[in-house]
Every structure is written in C-alpha cells, then in structure tokens.
A and B are shown apart, each in its own frame.
Chain A
Amino acid sequence: MAIDIFLLFFLVVFAFYAVYARNLLVSVIILSAFSMVMTIVWTRLNAVDVAFTEAAVGAGVSTIIFLAALSRTKETEEKVKKGKFDIYSLITLFIVILTGSVLIYGTFDMYGFGDIDTPINNVLAPRYIYGSMAELGIKNFVTSILAAYRGYDTLGETTVIFTAGVAVVILLRRKELD
C-alpha cells in the first residue's frame, strides 16, 4: 500500500514537471519516466499485458517519435504573454469547475475497486475466463478476448495504426525537400 502512494506521488511530480519544463527535450524525457512509473503501476494491478505495452510504446517508441518531432521544431518553449483577467476567463473557470464537479459526482455511483458483487465480475468475466479454455483452448484469456471475442475491435485498432501511417506519409513525405 505504501508503495502505491509513493508511485502516485512520483506520477504527479513527473506530470507537473513535464508540463512546466521550459525545455521540450526535458519534457519528453520526463514523460518517458512517467511511462516507466506507469509500467510499475500496471504490474502492481496485475495487468501484465498493459504494462508490457506501456513499457514498449509509452517509454520507448513514443519518446523516440516525440524526439523526431522535436527535430522539426525549437528545443525550448516560447514564452506566452499573459492575457487580461476578464469576464470570459471567469466564465471558463466556472465551466471547468462545473464539469469537474459533475465528473466527481459521477464517480460516487461507480463500483468499488475490484468489487466482487458487480455485474462485470459476475457475468462477463467468468464467461471469458472459463469460455476461453473450453471454446478456444487459449490459455491466456487476455489474448483470447483481444483476438477472438473482441476480434473486430482489434481489427479496427490495426486499421487505425495503418491509417495513422498513411496520414503521416501523406502529410510529411517530401521527396525533394529532405
């Protein structure tokens, strides 16, 4: 329990540091460290697949992609001029506080963490856990959910990655300029 609070503390510190660092290179590296801490959090929640993805994508590849994007821009952030405090910023502040309170109010209806009496843990999860071995013979039911029960979603995800690649090629590929 103590280590969870320790990790949460580090997450908050890293998040603030990443936002407030003027040097963008520092921000990118801090984000990578943030992902590394998230990996430990996922592992502590027994979500090994997610931890694996977080370590590979969050801490590894996305850092490199950010660095590549940095090669197209300046290394330090521009200083932003502070605007006047007028009625519009007051309205914005009011809307933000209202939305935040509604979201927090919504969490009161949520089930407790890992609650055994919820429909999710009573109906859906056993169906997958026991069905995976009986129907498909797949031992890791995370994979059987991803690839078989929710195969359509994974097809969509793969198409999203493909589309992102196509978009990058269309927008950024210049044969002569580079």
Chain B
Amino acid sequence: MIIPYITKKMIPFIQLYALYVIAHGDLGPGGGFQGGVIFGASIILHILVFGMEKTKRLFPLKIMDFFGSLGVLIYSLIGLLCIYFGGSMLEYTKLPFKDPHLAAHLGIFGIEVGVAITVSAVMVVFIFDIARKKG
C-alpha cells in the first residue's frame, strides 16, 4: 500500500533529477552516463514495485531495444557531422554555429543525451532479460 504510493510520487522527481544531471554535465558533476543510470534506475524501481508485466506495458521491450541503439547512433552521427563540417571526429568547435564555444556546448550536450539514452535503455533491457519470473 505505502510503497506503491510513494513510488508513484517519487518516480517523476527521480526522472526530473536525471534530466537535470544530464543537462548540467558541463557545469557540475555528472553527465550523460550518471543521468542515464539514474533515469534507468527510476524505471527499474517501477519494475521492483509493480512487477515486470505492468512495466513492460509502459516501456515495451522493443522500444527499449530501439533506444539502446539510438543513443550510440546519435553519438556517432555528431562525430561524423564534425568531420562533414571540416573538423576531426568529434571536434565540436567546427560545428556551424556563430560561436565555437556555443558549438562545443551544444555538441557536448548532444553526445551526453546520446550516452544517457543508451545507458538508461540498456539498464532496463538488462533487468528485463536477466531477471526470471518465479513460477
């Protein structure tokens, strides 16, 4: 009774904190990996409290698989974009923005988001596939 209620109230705050950590990677401690892990942990908390079946309805396995590969794709595409605009791989300052600092900021934010998507999705896939239902 108490645990599902508290969990329902807590999960939005955990996810908000995860997004904060991802977005402030270049200002304070944390970044894509840590934020992604926290976001994945919020979904794992949902699994622990409400069971696999309910969570699978909210976060279908196929979508999690898709996001797991989407993050790496975003990361490498940003790297290739830097080559396209005349820099080296992942040389963010060459991205076409007015200010090279702004370009670096946005480029790093982009890859942080990519890392976060992959990490959080793969964490959830781990739990879905490793844990076994007790029959």
Contact = CB atoms under 8 A, between A and B. Distances in A.
Interface of A: 48-49, 51-53, 56-57, 60-61, 64-65, 67-69, 71-72, 135-140, 142-144, 146-148, 151-152, 154-155, 157-159, 161-162, 164-166, 168-169, 172-173, 178
A74 B108 CA distance: 44
B66 to A, nearest CB: 12
Contact of A65 (B48, B68, B127): B127
Interface string B108-124: 10011011001101110
15 contacts: A52-B21, A52-B30, A52-B34, A56-B38, A64-B41, A65-B126, A71-B130, A72-B131, A143-B31, A144-B26, A148-B104, A155-B76, A155-B79, A158-B115, A178-B133
A54 to B, nearest CB: 10
B101 A137 contact: yes
Contacts of B122: 161-162, 164-165
A154 B33 CA distance: 10
A168 B93 contact: no
Nearest to B25: A143
Main secondary structure of the interface of B (DSSP, over half): helix
Given A143-B25, A161-B118, A49 B41 contact: no
B86 interface: no
Contacts of A158: 71-72, 75, 114-115, 118-119
A43 to B, nearest CB: 10
Interchain residue pairs A-B with the least CB separation, the first 6: A137-B101, A151-B90, A68-B131, A165-B122, A48-B29, A136-B104
Contacts of A137: 99-102, 104-105
Contacts of A169: 65, 125, 129
Contact of A155 (B37, B90, B112, B119): B90
Nearest to B52: A178
Nearest to A155: B75
B90 A136 contact: no
B34 to A, nearest CB: 5
B119 A152 contact: no
A interface, over-half SS: helix
Contact of B132 (A140, A143, A178): A178
A166 B38 CA distance: 21
A147 B37 CA distance: 17
Contacts of B79: 151, 155
B68 to A, nearest CB: 5
A68 B44 CA distance: 11
A65 B127 CA distance: 6
A139 B75 contact: no
Contacts of A161: 118-119, 122
A165 B130 CA distance: 11
A53 B37 contact: yes
